[in-house]
Amino acid sequence: MRSHATTRGLERATHRALYYSMGFLPEELDRPLVAIANPQNETMPGHIHLDIIAKAVREGVLAAGGTPVEFGTIGLCDGIAQGNYGMHYPLASRELICDSIECMVNGHSYDALVLVTECDKITPGMLMAAARLNIPTIVVSGGPMSTGWYCGKEVGYTDLIEAQGLVQRGEMTMEQLAEFEQGALPGCGACNIMGTANTMNFLTEALGMCLPGSTALAVSGRRIALAKRTGMKVMELYRKGIRPRDILTEDAFRNAFVVDMAIGGSTNTLLHLPAIANEAGITIDMGMVREIAAHAPNLVRIKPSGLHFPADLDHAGGITALMSQLMEAGLLRDNLTVTSENISSNVKNAGVADKTVIRPMDNPYTTTGGLALLYGNLAPDGAVCKAAGVLPEMLKHRGPARVFNQEEDAVKAIYEGEIQRGDVIVVRYEGPKGGPGMREMLSPTAAIVGMGLSDSVALVTDGRFSGATRGAAIGHVSPEAAAGGTIGLVEEGDAIDIDILSGKLTLEVDEAELARRKTAWTRPPSKAAPGSYLERYSRLVTSAMTGAVFNRE
């Protein structure tokens, strides 16, 4: 056992005494020490209840003969950081979360690991740690939030965001909005949309790193039982010697992208899956992703892309039922999972209970995936769009550029009526380096929808988008402006041609003129305070299209 480095031998008397001082028994130190990373905090609904989940995990570990040892990690709420200076930090926190877990697990020589998680950057950061540490590990999330209600209608996070535009247009009063706020998010759990939190937790099941049942609601007994079973199962993984890199193979990532396309997940998966793969020693080829997008159908549309909510997906059979359908169609590889069985065994008894929520293979929303990659002279290294959330009339769009060097200026212009129908809003210097931290552009996209412009205005940015975003929003433009990318050379009024169906993003400016602009271009000063974590992050982080991981050279 790894933990024997701290619990066995004459020279470890002080180590054992430190455990005894906390109430551990000698016989407990003879059992495998199972770390439980618990990021419970009071900053967000996704994490407010994780002590309950961690407690159930502890019970499972104890029941299966292990000794649980719990420690905490940080967790930021994208929703509260949204639209303000705080949004520089969530993506940057992913690396901190991964590093902190490495420090705790290796620093104390734990034998196995359970990662309790929920929200946007915490889940990918934890999966990165699992791949890096490569000791028996299993993930359990806190589950999706229940559906909200307002005036007798089912509502959620996205509806509330877009209601702000209704107030701006005089179609809703501030009093009505205040009432809406009270009912849209009814309790604990990952926000009730197909945002990054739910997307990544669902894809954890597709990767094989959590037990089947990733859609079980946060408030359900099934969620607590799943956590208890997780604690028991990690002991089985320990005894069988099954480790994350046995599971996180190239086939596992292929499966995750297939499921991602089927559910029309958050565009942030194009940051996180490559970053997790990087820790597992695997390089994600974006050509593979484009190939999957061209052949994997979009079968599920949860808010903001459709009318359903995560609770509806759970009632329809969840990700397990969806994967059963995809497996039967030959779209998934039969990979090993943390159940210690392969996917085919996990899904063999699952069935779709509601074909309006999980469509059959012969009746998809589209025959291609819910995410699209775009390339062209404006994005030589690529850009990404949630195609499932784009109106049909905006899948192809050409218009004049309206250029902004930060998110706040774009939001102000939209709400003050300065954006005209047909425009292409360009928001730059918001990438991983330039932000720094690659802020989400949810505020401008919500403003576009709220101001009634989603059928005529597109947004292009080197920043990223929330899973709550819908509309013709193209993000992750690479190279980013701060790295000298073409997006930094766009001028007011330049024509931009967007063809999501063909995967093309073109700035209609000739090469000679772009070369002239490039010669005159200088990188603006960093927005980060000298010596701050953001300043260090800016120096180390790589391109969005490589997962915004740290440069290891």
Would you give the distance in Å from CA 406 to the centre of its chain? Answer: 23
Beta carbons of 190 and 143 less than 8 angstroms apart: yes
Beta carbons of 192 and 310 less than 8 angstroms apart: yes
**Segments of 287-394 assigned E as strands:** 372-376, 379-385
Which residue among 100, 456, 466, 538 is the active-site one?
Answer: 466
On the question of a cis peptide bond just before residue 436, with omega within 30 degrees of 0, the verdict is: yes
- Distance (Å, whole) CA 520 – CA 522: 7
- The gap between the terminal CA atoms of the chain, to the nearest Å, is 33
Phi, psi (deg, nearest 5) at residue 199: -55, -50
Please report where in the chains the tokens 């490589």 appear, as a residue: 546
- Distance (Å, whole) CA 529 – CA 515: 32
- Distance (Å, whole) CA 199 – CA 140: 14
For residue 56, give every residue at least 6 positions away whose Cβ sits within 8 Å of its Cβ, in sequence order, or none.
224, 225, 227, 228, 231
Give the helix, strand, coil percentages of the chain, each rounded to 5: 45, 15, 40
Q: How many residues does the chain have?
A: 553
Beta strand pairing status for 137-141 and 112-117? parallel
Active-site residue, 466 included: yes
The amino acid sitting at 372 is A
Active-site residues: which are they? 466
